[in-house]
Amino acid sequence: MDPAERTCFEQLMVTRKRQLSRQVGDRLHQNGLEHHDQASLPRRSDDTDDEASASSLRDADVVSLARAARDLALIDAACERLAKGSYGVCVDCDDPIAPQRLLASPEAARCASCQERFERERRRGG
């Protein structure tokens, strides 16, 4: 990977990390709380009189935060691969990952075919 490509992917990951961090912060601070030690998920029972609806809203908040945390971890792992010089190489087959795939998902650790295989195996419980 040449230095210009490296810089491009590095900037993509920095931008994505900022977006995810902002999303998490916004979600945790939407109660008007300004300090980190006061951050929390919103009390959804204040949003509705229906406990089932409040529970569903809380579950959606938790899923959203879990997804953001997973995505942040994937980006951190990609940044480590970039620093080690293994970024853009599939972790399973050692083939190059297509640049188009990295532009769409800069955190990608697998080429498209290995990712498909990985997802199939995961769905099967393997």
pLDDT tens per residue across span 109-120: 999 999 999 999
Residue 85 CA: distances (Å) to CA of 2, 12, 82: 11, 17, 5
Q: Is-contact 55 44, C-beta < 8 A?
A: yes
- pLDDT, tens digit, for every residue of 26-40? 777 665 555 444 444
Say which residue, 38 or 15, is predicted with more confidence.
15
| Residue type (1 letter), 58 | R
Q: Are residues 81 and 92 in the same domain?
A: no
Enter the pTM of the model. Answer: 0.73
Q: Are residues 114 and 68 in the same domain?
A: no
Say which residue, 125 or 17, is predicted with more confidence.
17
- pLDDT, tens digit, for every residue of 80-103? 999 999 999 999 999 999 999 999
Q: Are residues 73 and 93 in the same domain?
A: no
Across the range 13-35, mean pLDDT stands at 77
How many Cα atoms within 13 Å fall on the side-chain side of residue 93?
A: 12
Across the range 61-78, mean pLDDT stands at 89
Percent of the chain residues topping a pLDDT of 70: 80
Tokens encoding 33: 């709380």
Q: Are residues 76 and 48 in the same domain?
A: yes
Q: Are residues 101 and 45 in the same domain?
A: no
Q: Are residues 65 and 77 in the same domain?
A: yes
